[in-house]
Chain A
Amino acid sequence: MVVTRPLVVIMVDDEVSVGFLSRMKFRQAIEDGSIELHFFEGARDCLKYLHAMKEHHGDMILFTDINMPSISGFDLLTQVKSQYPLIPVYMMSAYDDSASVDKSKHLGAKGYFTKPVNFGDIKKLLNVDFGVEF
């Protein structure tokens, strides 16, 4: 029996509703076991989790808001890129000005989603990059 490891999808946003939205939007794949969703309200909790998962084998992907209190999305991006360079990081933000986009790219983000987030696009991405079916 071949057990495919689920794709670990990490969502970081200071807006707790985003956790609910993601859970509902991905509920099919979560139930199927192709996605394991982890939502964190702050970067600190996210980093704690990543540290604990250091030995984890399997694909991970991170989506993060930019404007967050205490540790910003850019700070999180920088830390993840330095400590866990294999995890692709995507930004999600209400700000779509070229300065923010350029900075994200420069710091190593793989993509940029503007709010309101089109989950269809995210699903497409997960499908193309990781073969997740929805």
Chain B
Amino acid sequence: MDTPKYEVLELVKRIYNVDQLLFGKDYVREMVRSLATTLGVKYVLVGHAVEPDKTSIQTDFIWADGKFASNLIYDLKGTPCVNVICGTRVNCYAEKVADQFPDDHMLKDMGAEAYVGAPFLTPDGSLVGLLVIMDDKPLKDRELYTFVVEFFAARIGTEYYRQIFEDSLQKQVDIRTQELRSAFDDLQKTQKQLLSQEKLATIGRITFGIAHELKNPLNVIINAAEIIEELMSEQKLSGPMRTAAESIREHGYRANNIITSMLKQARQEPAAAPEYVNLSEMMDRSLELCSRSILDPDFKSKLKVHKNIEPDVNYLIVDAPSVERGFINLIDNAIYALREKHKDNEGFVPNLWIELKARIPYVHISMRDNGTGISPSNLIRIFDEFYTTKPPGEGTGLGLSIAKQVLGTNNGEINIQSTEGEMTEVTVNFPLLEQKQNQENRIWSSPDPSL
């Protein structure tokens, strides 16, 4: 090096004399300015390799002729920069650089005579960016400029690594935050569901208790009414008092039946004895119930129900109340889907087709709606317990799982087909049950001497 050592030191000190409180881009900018002014060169640029190919450089700072100029992107091909990158070391052309790179128009336009460039790389050796100094006059001290550029390229590189590191850290924080948010939402949803289930369970327990307690007074009501009837019969009396006694007994039994079927609903045990049920009436009732519960008058008037229910289809059913509840759930689901579609579509005509027919040895039921339909991903999980697409509080996600269960108890099958946005069809098939012995309210039948 021609320049005396102390002068080199002074030079570096002066270049380095930049506000040390600055960091990142601001620091680099000041560095560029400082390099240009201290070294007295016309051009200083700092840029980064453009991902993913890294065949061009996007400048972050260009100092040209006394001030910062607008940034640009240039292709590395045919420029001295390509050697900087490939060589991964500083490249220096003290003079006539434009002649050595005839394809580089930028050099010509800039009137570059001298060029010094150094890359800064990642720890594993891939290119991050480069620092280039150019001048319109030849370099006086090659070694000095080579040293300076290499030295400050590394320093500038540090600021770039810092940014890259911070960006990656920020990205990770964002991902984790998103994961946390998602987990939190799931947790809240689960909590709401648990609360609903807890409420249901509590209601179930209370129902169970009340129902049983009511059976005691009913015992007295029914039997006392029967006694009145018997006494009147003995005394050959009839008339309004007799009729009154009959009414008391009948309605006592009716109340008892209501309680019994309610208990069956609340119970988690396997169902009681099978009984003959008029499925056609059950379906009619369920449909009635669901139709009556529609609150939106506009939707209600638009809704077209196509009923094709074969009358008096009587079959032996286990746990009839749950089967009825299953029908109600299915119809409710169809109506919900139709209502949802109706909300967003002015001209939409909601249609519901319900069919029930006996085709020995099966009962075949189908329910079809042209509502919102079910997406394939939801369809797979549709029978899962607690799986619902309804907002929390509106659905427990138990309806279909229970329906499937109770149909299973009756050796029945349920299938759901759907085209998202267009229709859903639910088909239920269940076979005739073999005649089972009918049990009344005696748990054990006639006295068994073997006991």
Contacts and interface: CB of A to CB of B under 8 A. Distances in A.
Partners in one complex: yes
Contacts of B447: 110-111, 125, 128-129
Interface string B142-170: 00000000000000000000000000000
A18 B219 contact: yes
A121 B213 contact: no
Interface string B346-389: 00000000000000000000000000000000000000000000
B443 A116 contact: no
Contact of B441 (A20, A98, A118, A128): A118
A125 B252 CA distance: 24
Contacts of A17: 220, 224
A25 B253 CA distance: 18
Given A21-B227, A113-B441, A116-B256, A128 B446 contact: yes
A119 interface: yes
A96 B253 CA distance: 17
Given A21-B224, A94-B213, A111-B442, A116 B219 contact: yes
Contacts of B443: 96, 101, 111-114
A31 interface: no
Contacts, number: 77
A116 to B, nearest CB: 4
Contacts of B440: 118, 121
B451 interface: yes
B444 interface: yes
Contact of B269 (A98, A115, A121): A98
B335 interface: no
A15 B214 CA distance: 13
Interface string B209-224: 0001111101111111
Given A94-B213, A95-B212, A117 B444 contact: no
Given A25-B223, A114-B441, A124 B446 contact: yes
B302 interface: no
A97 interface: yes
A121 B253 CA distance: 16
B267 interface: yes
Contact of B220 (A15, A97, A98, A112): A15
Contact of B219 (A98, A111, A117): A117
A115 B215 CA distance: 6
B223 to A, nearest CB: 5
A129 to B, nearest CB: 5
A98 B447 CA distance: 19
B219 A97 contact: no
A128 B448 CA distance: 11
Given A96-B443, A114-B443, A124-B446, 19 more contacts: A15-B220, A18-B219, A21-B223, A94-B213, A94-B215, A94-B216, A97-B269, A111-B442, A111-B447, A112-B442, A112-B444, A113-B442, A114-B442, A115-B215, A116-B218, A116-B221, A119-B223, A121-B442, A128-B446
Considering the complex of A and B, which 6 residue pairs feature the smallest CB-CB distances, nearest first? A94-B215, A116-B219, A115-B219, A112-B443, A24-B227, A17-B220
Interface of A: 15, 17-18, 20-21, 24-25, 94-98, 101, 110-119, 121, 124-125, 128-129
11 contacts: A15-B220, A21-B219, A25-B223, A96-B443, A111-B442, A116-B223, A116-B253, A116-B441, A119-B226, A124-B446, A129-B447
